[in-house]
Structure 1
Amino acid sequence: MLSNLKPQAPDKILMLIEEYKADTRQGKIDLGVGVYKDPQGVTPVMRAVKAAEQRIWESQTTKAYTGLAGEPEYRNAMAQMVLGDVPADRLASVASVGGTGAIRQALELARMANPDLTVHVSDPTWPNHLSIMKFMGLPFVEYRYFDNATRGVDFEGMKADIAKAGKGDIVLLHGCCHNPTGANLTLDQWREVIAILEKSGAVPLIDLAYQGFGDGLDADAEATRLVAKSLPEVLIAASCSKNFGIYRERTGILMALSENPSARDLAQGAMAYLNRQNFSFPPDHGARIVSTILTDDALRGDWKAELEDVRNTMLALRDQLASELRDLSGSDRFDFIAQHRGMFSRLGATPEQVQKLKSDSAIYMVGDSRLNIAGLNRDTVPVLARAIIDAGI
C-alpha cells in the first residue's frame, strides 16, 4: 500500500533552512525562517513564560485530559486579549493545535456550514494557507493585495476583487502584520472592506498570528475588533507562537462570532466535534502558560513589557535598514520598509536578484523576496543594505 504513495513537494522554506545550514561561509545571514530572533540570533524563552511554567510545575497535580474545546480559562483570556469587550452571547471558541490548526478547523467549519463555498485569499498570502486549501480540495481564488511597484496595498484592486465574493463564501484576511508583505490596511480601509462584506454576505476569516508585533497589543487587534462588532458572522484564528514565543507548544484558538445565541451554540458544538475528529483533546501546556500569564497582573505586565521590547527592536531595525538604503541608493524607494509592520517585508525583487543575494553575499530569503526583519541585527543591517544595492534591487 505505502509504495503507492506519491512523492510530496518539499516545503520551500524548510529547504532554505537546510541550504543555509550547509553553507560554510562566514557571515551568512538567515532572513528566511519565520521566527523571532534577538540580536544574538536566539529565539528566547520569555521571562513570563519561564515564570508561568515554574508555577505550573509546582502546582499542577494531574495530566488528565482537558475538555474537547480546551480549558475555559484559556479561551476566555484569549477572547479578552483579541476582542477586548467579549460578546459572550455571540462567541464560540475552541483551543487548537497552533494557529495553523485554527485555520484548518475554521475552513472545516465553514465547509460544514456551506459545502459550496469559495475561499478568497490575498495575493500573496502565507503559502500554507494555499497548501491547506489545496489538500482539502477547497476552491479558492486570489484577490489583488500587494502592489509590487509601490510595495504597498493595491486597495482598489482588492476592493474590486473581494466584491465578487458570494454569500456564504470566506474572505481570508490578515488581522495585522501581513505575511509575507508587511503591508497593512488602514482602519479607514478596513471600514470599506467591512461595507463590502456586509453587502455581499461573505464571511471574514481573520488570521491573527502576530498580535503585538506591529503597532502594539491593542492596536494590532483594532481591525479585528472592528470587524467583530460590525458583521454578524466572523471567524478568527489566533496564534500564541509569536507573541508568547511558544512556537513548539502549538498553542492557538479558533473563535466564531454568530448572529445570535442559538447559532453560537450550533457553532460551539460543531467546533468541539471537529476537534474530536482531528485530534480529540487539544494540547494544554502552552494554553496553560498563556492563561497563567494573562490572568496574573504581574506576569501579564512583564510579558507585555518584553513583547514591547521585541516590537521596538524590529521597528528600530526597519528604520535602520530604510535609512541605510536611502543613503546608498540616493532615493526614498526603500522607505516602505520602515512603514511595513511585523516580522516580514517583501522587497519586490525578482527570483534572480534573490538568488544573487544568496550566491554573492550568503544572504538567504524566500524566493518571492520576503525577508524576516527579526533575522537582522545592527551589525548585519549595513551588510544587507549594500548587498541589496549590489544586486540591483
Structure 2
Amino acid sequence: MLGNLKPQAPDKILALMGEFKADPRQGKIDLGVGVYKDADGRTPIMRAVRAAEQRMLEAETTKSYAGLAGEPEFHKAMAEMILGDLYKPGTTAALATVGGTGAIRQALELARLANPGLKVFVSNPTWPNHVSIMNFMGVPVVEYRYFDAETRGVDFEAMKADISAAKQGDVVLLHGCCHNPTGANLTLEQWAEVAAILEKTGATPLIDLAYQGFGDGLEQDAAGTRLIASRIPEVLIAASCSKNFGIYRERTGILLALCADAATKELAQGTMAFLNRQTYSFPPFHGARIVSTVLTTPELRADWMAELEAVRGGMLKLREQLAAELRSLSGSDRFGFVAEHRGMFSRLGATPEQVKQVKEEFGIYMVGDSRINIAGLNQTTIPILARAIIEAGV
C-alpha cells in the first residue's frame, strides 16, 4: 500500500535550512528560517519563561490529561493580552492548539464545518504554509493583492478592491501585525477601512496574530485586531506563543472565536473541542502553562515585557542600520522601506537570480522571493549583506 504514495514537494524554507547546514563555508549567513535569533545566533530562553518553568516543576504533582480545549487560565490570559478590554468571556470561545499553525488549521476546519462551500481570501504574498494547508484541505483559495513591488509597501487600493469580492460565508485571512513575508503593515486607518468592507460584505475575518510584540509594541500590535473585534460580530483569531515567548518547540497556540451571542459561543466551543479530539485529542499543556504563569504573575509578566521590548528594539536597530548601510552604498534611499517595515521579515525585491547570486557568491541564504529574517543579522553581518545586495544589482 505505502508504495503507492506519491512523493511530496519539499517545503522550500526547510530545504533551504538543509542547504545552509550542508554549506562548508565559514561566515555563511542564514536569513531564511523564520526563527528569532540574538546577536550570537542563538534563540535564547527568556528569563520569565525559565522562572515560570522552575515554578511549575516545583508545584507539579501529575502528568495526567488536562482540558480537551486547554486550560481556562491560558484562555483568559491570552484573550486578555490580545483583546484587552474587548474580551467578553460570555461570547468568546477558546481552544488551545499545537502552535499557531494548529490554530490556523483548526480555524479553517471550524469555518468549513460552518460552511462546506467555504472560500478563503489570502494576501499575495502570504506565509507559504497558509496556502499549503488550504490546498491540502481542498479549500478554495482566492488571492487578494497586497504588496506593491515598486514601493515595497501595501497596495491598499488593490487590496480593498479584491477583498470586496468576498461574500457572507467566505473567510478573509489577515495578518494581525508584522506581515509575513513582506514586513509591510496596514495602518490603523486602513484597518478601519478593511472593517467597513467586512461589515458590508458579511465575510468573516480570520486574523493570524503570530508576532504580537515584535512590531510596534505589545498593545500597538493588537490594535488592528481589536478594531476588527469591536466592529465585526464574528471574528476568528489564531495566535502563536512561539515568537513572543520564545517557546518554539513547546508548540503553543490558541484559537479564539468571537461570537455574536452566548448561544453561538457555546456551539462554537463544543465544535472546537470536537476538532481537537478528532485531530490530536488533548492539546499540549506545558507551553500553555508557561504562558499563563508568566501572564498572571506580576513580576514575571513585567520581566517578560521588558525582555520582549528589548527584542523588538533590537530588531528595529538592525533595520535602521541595514537601511543606513544600503543608503551609503547605493547613494539613494530606495531601501528606506527596510527601516519602515516591522517584525522579523522584509522582502527586498530581489529576483530569484539575484537571490541565487547572493547565496553562491556571499554565502547569504534568503528565501527565493527575497524575504530576509532581520533577526538573523548582527552588526558584523549587516555590511556584508548590504554589499551583496548592491553588487547583485538589487
TM-score by length of 2: 0.99
C-alpha distance in structure 1 between counterparts of 2:67 and 2:57, whole Å: 20
| Aligned match of 1:52 | 52
C-alpha distance in structure 2 between counterparts of 1:80 and 1:333, whole Å: 40
AA in 2 matched with 1:70:
G
**TM-superposed deviation, 1:233:** 0.4
C-alpha distance in structure 2 between counterparts of 1:239 and 1:217, whole Å: 13
| Aligned match of 1:244 | 245
Superposition map of 1:7-156 within 5 A: 7-85=7-85, 86-156=87-157
| Aligned match of 2:215 | 214
Q: In the TM superposition, what whole-angstrom CA distance separates every residue of 1:336-367 from its partner, at most 9, and x where no partner exists?
A: 00000000000011000000100110000000
C-alpha distance in structure 1 between counterparts of 2:149 and 2:91, whole Å: 39
**TM-superposed deviation, 1:24:** 1.2
Give every structure 1 segment of 4 or more consecutive aligned residues whose post-TM-superposition deviation is greater than 3 Å.
Answer: none
C-alpha distance in structure 2 between counterparts of 1:168 and 1:192, whole Å: 20
| Aligned match of 2:354 | 353
C-alpha distance in structure 2 between counterparts of 1:118 and 1:15, whole Å: 30
AA in 2 matched with 1:121:
V
| Aligned match of 2:375 | 374
C-alpha distance in structure 2 between counterparts of 1:157 and 1:120, whole Å: 13
Q: In the TM superposition, what whole-angstrom CA distance separates every residue of 1:231-262 from its partner, at most 9, and x where no partner exists?
A: 00000000000000000000000000011111
C-alpha distance in structure 2 between counterparts of 1:261 and 1:168, whole Å: 20
Q: Secondary structure at the match of 1:345?
A: strand
Identity %: 73
AA in 1 matched with 2:10:
P
Q: In the TM superposition, what whole-angstrom CA distance separates every residue of 1:174-217 from its partner, at most 9, and x where no partner exists?
A: 00000000000000000000000000000000000000000000
C-alpha distance in structure 2 between counterparts of 1:263 and 1:285, whole Å: 30
**TM-superposed deviation, 1:226:** 0.8
C-alpha distance in structure 2 between counterparts of 1:88 and 1:251, whole Å: 21
| Aligned match of 2:332 | 331
Q: In the TM superposition, what whole-angstrom CA distance separates every residue of 1:284-332 from its partner, at most 9, and x where no partner exists?
A: 0000000000000000000000001100000000000000001110111
Residue 268 (str. 1) matches residue 275 (str. 2): no
Aligned residue pairs, count = 393
C-alpha distance in structure 1 between counterparts of 2:331 and 2:88, whole Å: 51
C-alpha distance in structure 1 between counterparts of 2:210 and 2:272, whole Å: 20
| Aligned match of 1:386 | 387
C-alpha distance in structure 2 between counterparts of 1:277 and 1:111, whole Å: 15
Superposition map of 1:299-318 within 5 A: 299-318=300-319
C-alpha distance in structure 2 between counterparts of 1:352 and 1:308, whole Å: 37
| Aligned match of 2:183 | 182
AA in 1 matched with 2:312:
R
C-alpha distance in structure 2 between counterparts of 1:271 and 1:292, whole Å: 24
C-alpha distance in structure 1 between counterparts of 2:312 and 2:50, whole Å: 20
C-alpha distance in structure 2 between counterparts of 1:115 and 1:158, whole Å: 25
| Aligned match of 1:282 | 283
**TM-superposed deviation, 1:27:** 1.1
Gaps of 5+ in 1: none
| Aligned match of 1:235 | 236
C-alpha distance in structure 2 between counterparts of 1:318 and 1:287, whole Å: 32
C-alpha distance in structure 2 between counterparts of 1:291 and 1:259, whole Å: 26
C-alpha distance in structure 1 between counterparts of 2:284 and 2:270, whole Å: 19
| Aligned match of 1:4 | 4
C-alpha distance in structure 1 between counterparts of 2:77 and 2:374, whole Å: 29
Q: Secondary structure at the match of 2:349?
A: coil
AA in 2 matched with 1:102:
A
**TM-superposed deviation, 1:168:** 1.1
Q: In the TM superposition, what whole-angstrom CA distance separates every residue of 1:54-75 from its partner, at most 9, and x where no partner exists?
A: 0000000011101111000011
C-alpha distance in structure 2 between counterparts of 1:349 and 1:257, whole Å: 40
C-alpha distance in structure 2 between counterparts of 1:61 and 1:24, whole Å: 47
Q: Secondary structure at the match of 1:160?
A: helix
Gaps of 5+ in 2: none
C-alpha distance in structure 2 between counterparts of 1:48 and 1:347, whole Å: 34
